[in-house]
Chains A and B, each alone.
Chain A
Amino acid sequence: MTLTHVARAGLLALALVSAPHLADAATLRWSSAGDITTMDPHGNNEGFTNAYLDHIYETLVTRGKELKVEACLATSWQNVSPTVTRFKLRPNVRFHDGSPFTADDVVFSIQRALSDTSNFKPYLAGVKEAKRVDDLTVDIITEGPAPVLVPQLTEVRIMSRSWATKHNVLKPQDYKNKEETFAVRNANGTGPYILRTRDADVKTVAVLNSNWWGKLEGNVDEIVYQPIKQDSTRLAALLSGEIDFVLDPSPQDIGRLKQDPKMKVLEGMENRTIFLGMDQWRDELQYSSVKGKNPFKDKRVREAFQAALDVNALKSQVMRGLSVPTAVMYAPQVDGYAKELDRVKPADRERARKLLADAGYPKGFEVTLDCPNNRYVNDEKLCVAIAAMLAQINVTVKVNAMPRANYFPKIQNLDTSFYMLGWGVPTFDSQYAVQSLLRTRVEKSADGDYNLGKYSNANVDEAIDKLKTEIDTKKRAALAIEVSRIHQGEVGHIPLHFQVIPWAMRSNVSVVHRADNKLTVKWIKIK
């Protein structure tokens, strides 16, 4: 045992002794397929890791149960000029190691998240720097007006400057430097739970922070996370009572779990749209029987494809009911959701055949659909079902399914004619979706970076560019809906559905389901 271990054990013992007595305190044992990848709050920008770290590290602003932005380490904020946002910080907050939380820590954390080895730069797009005004006031300076700065800060976690200095973790891990940094397995935040033990891929334990500034709504005083990779083993562990909660039960087990009186399944719509994209820029389609031209450039072909697809059948036959069919590109939880446009039309194969014939393909053609097989719920099965539906209008679809590690590099290089993609909106703001997916692509920028079929419309671009600097919420929504209307009219993409994510748990566990698939333990009650 080294000296720091002794010191840490002592601190922990102190924390335990002084813990207020939670009358009905309980341990939450939970599981999902993969592990948290790192404890470094700016190390790996991955949804699951971020969700776990929210228990230990906090952010200036956070999301409440309805996913609206709420105060957290910042108590209030306002624009003092179009490029400066001033944050008042919460007083009397301490890190787990006892050091006080001040403006220095915020300035440091934002710098750290902006450093070259950080993966969190996208959340600070347009941010120039953070400046300390006084101990409890910080200014964040942006290059231009930044309407989505505050929602994006829900993903920028605050670390202690003194702790980072002491343990030489001023920057997130650099893979060039073949060493493990201290922050990979240790953590020191201000959050409601303190990391106690970390055994990667085996067990991660966090205990209640008795000095937390907030009020705990739940009654969990210990969180034990144990990843179980195999779906069936994870289910068995839940059924046998070894764990209380499973974040990602396999879709085929849901029916069975619902019948078990000792189990509970909570279903909620995920803030993620699954859609099909089409190459609309090459003069000759790469993976197709059509030579010398690109059928997807013709709106009638895209419309025919959409008319041939029965998204309700995909829901009932492929998704086992775990989807909400849609006609738009982003979900109802997102600001600027186009409710009046979200009407799913039933499949009309007659019309589809006619449209194809009018476009000059009465006998159909052949095209390859690229598809991931381990990224979205039933992704490969969806593609196979889509191929079967398109076969009915004489379009022969070859499904080319592959693992995500192969799939994403391929489609990011635009090496595709027809592809499936799912898009989540962590900021809950429409700009995140329309800028990446619908704006004309500008290489090496966020504009159209996932517009992989190069859909392009000048009016859409104009509205999106306005959206980038518009601060008024109502005007933003109007712009986003305008974009959606034009895009829908042109069938720029074919939206399929929003995923529904089921969470499974023992019936004595009460949780709040979040559309971003993040489990929040401070709200959990266990009877």
Chain B
Amino acid sequence: MIAFVIRRLLQGVLVMLVVGLIAFSLFNFVGDPVSLMLPPEATQADRDQMRGALGLDKPFYVQFATFIGNALRGNFGISLRLGRPVSTLLVERLPATLELAMTAALIGLFVGIPVGVYTALKRNSWVSRALLTLSLVGVSLPNFLIGIFLILIFAVWLGWLPSFGRGDTVQLGLWSTGLLTKTGLKALILPAITLGFFPVTLIMRLVRAEMLEVLRTDYIKFARARGLSDRAVNFGHALKNTLVPVITITGLQLGGIIAFAIITETVFQWPGMGLLFVQAVQFADVPVMAAYLCLIGLIFVVINLVVDMLYYLVDPRLRAERSTGGGH
């Protein structure tokens, strides 16, 4: 187990170094931040001085090495756009993104699973067909369009929910939460639905497919033959056995949701890391972009690691094979 974890950790570090290297080589193409930081009438000497001050005059591998060296000490430099330490900015924005992503994932689970079960059990009802068609729309419509539709309906026409922002937040130590205020909760609804739309459709289709498969297996037939109630068969036996892959996929999806949040955050001006990143790209704010990409890399690596370990714990077959292998 420990050897397994260490091996995965080392792989993770390698992945992150590669992410960082690729990101850094791309930064050469986002343009010159100096041209945005200095007014047009600045002289060439001013520009050269600024470039030197920022270390942009050095070749990219030197910049990369400096970045890695500083990052290991927890120093990601200072944002060129906002003039504040990048690590502070990320810590400030992380809660907003995580609250949004978690809510979206929960919506995915709590809507996706029941709908998936329903469409599997009542395969031929028109409600199932409608839900399946809707899920196709959900998969194919781009995220930002769903967001804009929701804004148009619930903010502009009905005036029920805010169209942008995060509402009032409460500071709990380093964590700023919008879950404890009324405006914060109201502001969360539309972006969370927008971001949750894709996981809902994914989980629902996954649950449906798994359920259909499980319902065909022998033990379900035997359970029915034993005269168990429909409820016990469908939920106690069938659903339980479909949940392992669902949880795995949801876990893996979480990384995707956090990364996907960029679009939703931009549409709703949600002050999370994704919005910070989009603004950094436009300003060629290299320190923020580099730190964000590394952080997203880290989140993916950690989630993958946790999922692998959970699998190891949850699935008895994996453990059994190990132990027999060890015994012989």
Which residues of chain A come closer than 8 Å to B45, judged between CB atoms?
444
One of B11-19, B108-116, B152-160, B299-307 at the interface = B152-160
Interface positions, chain B 25-79, Cβ under 8 Å from A, are 29-47, 49-50, 53-54, 75, 77-78
- B44 CB to nearest A CB, Å: 6
Q: Is the CB of A201 within 8 A of B163?
A: no
Q: Is the CB of A200 within 8 A of B82?
A: yes
Which residues of chain A come closer than 8 Å to B78, judged between CB atoms?
175, 178-180
Q: Is the CB of B32 within 8 A of A409?
A: yes
Given the known interface contacts A180-B88, A443-B44, the answer about A406 and B31 at a Cβ–Cβ threshold of 8 Å is yes
Which residues of chain A come closer than 8 Å to B88, judged between CB atoms?
180
Chain B: residues with Cβ within 8 Å of the partner, total of 56
Q: Bound state CA distance, A179 and B53, in angstroms?
A: 13
- Let me know if B278 is at the binding interface, CB within 8 A: yes
Selected from B33, B83, B151, B163, the residue in CB contact (under 8 A) with A173 is B83
- Let me know if A134 is at the binding interface, CB within 8 A: no
Q: Is the CB of A229 within 8 A of B266?
A: yes
- Let me know if B251 is at the binding interface, CB within 8 A: no
Interface positions, chain A 354-407, Cβ under 8 Å from B, are 374, 402-407
Chain A: residues with Cβ within 8 Å of the partner, total of 59
Q: Is the CB of B163 within 8 A of A229?
A: no
One of A41-49, A284-292, A488-496, A508-516 at the interface = A41-49
Binary contact track B110-148/A, C-beta < 8 Å → 1, others 0 = 000000000000000000000000000000000000001
Nearest residue, chain B, Cβ from A44: B37
Q: Bound state CA distance, A408 and B36, in angstroms?
A: 9
Q: Bound state CA distance, A122 and B39, in angstroms?
A: 9
- Let me know if B283 is at the binding interface, CB within 8 A: yes
Selected from B30, B34, B49, B165, the residue in CB contact (under 8 A) with A202 is B165
Which residues of chain A come closer than 8 Å to B151, judged between CB atoms?
232-233, 236
- Let me know if B271 is at the binding interface, CB within 8 A: yes
Nearest residue, chain A, Cβ from B147: A233
Given the known interface contacts A175-B80, A405-B31, the answer about A436 and B268 at a Cβ–Cβ threshold of 8 Å is no
Q: Bound state CA distance, A403 and B54, in angstroms?
A: 21
One of A97-105, A238-246, A323-331 at the interface = A238-246
Q: Which of A181, A200, A230 has the most CB of B within 10 A?
A: A230
- A44 CB to nearest B CB, Å: 7
Selected from A40, A45, A179, A409, the residue in CB contact (under 8 A) with B85 is A179
Q: Bound state CA distance, A449 and B38, in angstroms?
A: 14
Q: Is the CB of A201 within 8 A of B164?
A: no
Q: Bound state CA distance, A469 and B117, in angstroms?
A: 83
- B29 CB to nearest A CB, Å: 8
Selected from B38, B152, B284, the residue in CB contact (under 8 A) with A405 is B284
A-B contact pairs, 13 of them (CB 8 A): A119-B38, A174-B53, A178-B75, A178-B85, A181-B83, A184-B84, A202-B271, A229-B279, A230-B269, A239-B156, A240-B155, A241-B159, A407-B31
Please name 15 further chain A to chain B contacts, defined as beta carbons within 8 Å, in addition to the given A405-B32, A408-B36, sorted by A numbering.
Answer: A37-B82, A119-B42, A179-B78, A202-B165, A202-B271, A226-B165, A240-B159, A374-B282, A404-B36, A405-B31, A405-B284, A409-B32, A409-B35, A436-B41, A446-B41
Residues of B within 8 A of A (CB): 29-47, 49-50, 53-54, 75, 77-78, 80-85, 88, 148, 151-152, 155-156, 159, 162-166, 266-269, 271, 275-276, 278-279, 282-284
